[in-house]
Amino acid sequence: MNLEKEKDFSQAANLYESALPFLLENNDVLAFDCSEALQRIAIIQGIYPYTIEEVKKQISEKYPQVTEETINSWIENKELEYYFYDGKEHYFEDAVSNLAYRHLELMHANTSAQQSYYDLILKINQLAEEKPENTWKQYQKPVTYHGTHTISIPRQELPQVGTYRIWLPIPINNGPQTQVTVDSVIPGKWIKQPPSIDGDIGLLYMEVPMEDLTEDLFIQVKFSFTHYEQRFTVNPQNIGEYDKDSDIYKKYTRSYGNTEITSDIRKKAVEIVGTETNPYFAARRIYDYIVNNVDYSFMPHFALWPRTLQTETDYVHKYQRGDCGTQSMYFSAMCRSLGIPARTTGGYQLFSDEFRGHFWAEFYIPNYGWIPVDTSAAQIAFYVKEATLEQRQTFIDYFFGSQDSMRCVVQKDTDEILIPKANSMVLLPMAVQIPTVEYSIPSGDIGEAFMEYWAIELEN
């Protein structure tokens, strides 16, 4: 434990591994703690794997136009995320990819990505320019989707004893998303409770005993849902008063989990909003600030709270960088700090006819309900060099108060509790977008096989 605190991870892991067999026979509590420590170290080492020499080589290969002098300046200026352990800096697995979002000339040099982004801008702007049939109708133009989870693991990749608990993400009925059904589950014998399609988080829970598994593990879950495009036409003068005693207000204005409201975040929100008191206009100011000032950045989610002390909102505030989820939690935290209920909703986006993990924000105003906000999607406007200022602004405006139908909602907010609760710390407690797995025997097992042999497919 002392070695781990000193960030001498490799030696600490060796000692934990040596201790675990003895503890399994003599002390269940310490065996559990030992297993958790092994998982914690493996995860941090896994997401910060590269030495400085390796990351320099990756930059040169990915961006051959960049000079050695520029690479060195990026490293000296701490532009590449790293974690110090085993006596030296180790760089984040996505540190090199993140550079393109901070230096848009690198993004603009990728011609294939330019075309894909531009096509999306044109597609969304076409939606934005279409007048709703009825301005009072918040949900329109529904699309029905069919999804399939498949897990297929060779028997030799799994242990002979013990039980795996598995939570698979599925859609929930929630505002713009309706008609959710779980159509089939193979095999059904491992399901331990009904799917939670009407709760705050959508999960199909299974338990698989290894002693009963005599052949390859095969699980297939088929589900369907209908998702509507959202178009809110808000009259700011027609917004009612918040009921501060309501469950919605109490739950979604609190500082909780990764949506931490620090004093610095509250101070920043007040600075951004100024004298504006209308919650709709205040939320728009926060939205514009994040879109224009917080660089999109892949995040080391697995190394943040509750695995370590730093929360997602503290991270994005400190570095002014964040991905879809982190930006949305930052938006939510700033809104909450001003007494505007907000949450980070998500699951998947379906822009490319595939399930891709995604989060966005929603803020609540009386007489209208939950208004969608997607800061990271809006930032795509900056990625296309040839887009006009008008095209960019139309695209940005759309994602405040409107949302495409290409979504799958799995959870209403981040840090929702698993159903049923996990006994240990799972790989990503904040969100469920991949199979969440827990093994009954303390071993440091984080269920890697379930991620490696899992696929999710989309039809519509």
137-182 residue pLDDT tens: 899 999 999 999 999 999 999 999 999 999 999 999 999 999 999 9
315-372 residue pLDDT tens: 999 999 999 999 999 999 999 999 999 999 999 999 989 999 999 999 999 999 999 9
| Closest to 311 in 3D by CA, of 258, 262, 263, 254 | 258
Residue 393, in any domain of the structure:
no
Q: How confident is the model at residue 136 (pLDDT cuts 50, 70, 90)?
A: confident
Residue 377, in any domain of the structure:
no
Q: How confident is the model at residue 209 (pLDDT cuts 50, 70, 90)?
A: very high
Please, where are the H alpha helices in 6-67? 9-26, 28-47, 52-62
- Rounded distance between C-alpha atoms, residue 337 and residue 255, angstroms: 8
Task: Transcribe 131-148 into DSSP letters.
Answer: PPS-TT--EEEEEEEEEE
Q: Residues 7, 56: one domain? A: no
Q: How confident is the model at residue 135 (pLDDT cuts 50, 70, 90)?
A: confident
The reply to whether the predicted model has a pTM over 0.85 is yes
Considering only CA atoms, give the Rg of the chain: 23
Distances (CA, A) of 143 to 140, 215, 229: 9, 38, 8
What pLDDT does residue 132 have? 80
Q: Residues 158, 219: one domain? A: yes
Three-state DSSP class for 457? strand
Residue 429, in any domain of the structure:
no
Q: Residues 158, 190: one domain? A: yes
Q: Residues 23, 73: one domain? A: no
Q: Residues 19, 56: one domain? A: no
Q: State which amino acid sits at residue 425.
A: M
b vs e for 144-177, b when ≥16 Cβ sit within 10 Å of the residue's Cβ? Answer: ebebbbebebeeeebeeebbbbbbbbbbbbbbbb
Q: Are 105 and 65 in contact (CB under 8 A)?
A: no
CA atoms within 13 A on the CB side of 68: 2
pLDDT at 192 over 90: yes
Residue 292, in any domain of the structure:
no
- Rounded distance between C-alpha atoms, residue 95 and residue 81, angstroms: 6
Which whole number is the average pLDDT over 263-271?
98
Distances (CA, A) of 2 to 5, 35, 46: 5, 16, 21
Q: Residues 156, 210: one domain? A: yes
Q: Residues 39, 57: one domain? A: no
pLDDT at 446 over 90: no
- The domain in which residue 35 lies consists of 2-47
Q: Are 382 and 375 in contact (CB under 8 A)?
A: no
Residue 417 DSSP symbol: P
Residue 88, in any domain of the structure:
yes
Q: Are 363 and 283 in contact (CB under 8 A)?
A: yes
Q: Residues 163, 209: one domain? A: yes
- Rounded distance between C-alpha atoms, residue 128 and residue 59, angstroms: 38
Which whole number is the average pLDDT over 371-376?
98
Residue 175, in any domain of the structure:
yes
Residue 115, in any domain of the structure:
no
Three-state DSSP class for 294? coil
- Rounded distance between C-alpha atoms, residue 140 and residue 77, angstroms: 48
Q: Within 10 Å of residue 107's Cβ, how many Cβ atoms?
A: 18
Residue 84, in any domain of the structure:
yes
215-251 residue pLDDT tens: 999 999 999 999 999 999 999 999 999 999 999 999 9
Total number of domains in the chain: 3
- Rounded distance between C-alpha atoms, residue 430 and residue 257, angstroms: 8
- Rounded distance between C-alpha atoms, residue 206 and residue 189, angstroms: 9
Provide, rounded to the nearest whole percent, the portion of the chain with pLDDT above 90.
Answer: 97
SS3 string of 314-378? HHHHHHCEECHHHHHHHHHHHHHHCCCCEEEEEEEECCCCCCEEEEEEEEEECCCEEEEECHHHH
Q: Are 359 and 344 in contact (CB under 8 A)?
A: yes
Q: How confident is the model at residue 460 (pLDDT cuts 50, 70, 90)?
A: confident
- Rounded distance between C-alpha atoms, residue 437 and residue 435, angstroms: 6
Q: Residues 69, 16: one domain? A: no
Q: Within 10 Å of residue 32's Cβ, how many Cβ atoms?
A: 15
Q: Residues 103, 34: one domain? A: no
What pLDDT does residue 134 have? 80
What pLDDT does residue 131 have? 84
Q: Within 10 Å of residue 251's Cβ, how many Cβ atoms?
A: 14
What pLDDT does residue 44 have? 95
pLDDT at 25 over 90: yes
211-225 residue pLDDT tens: 999 999 999 999 999
421-437 residue pLDDT tens: 999 999 999 999 999 99
Mean pLDDT score of the chain, rounded to an integer? Answer: 96
CATH number at residue 148: 2.60.40
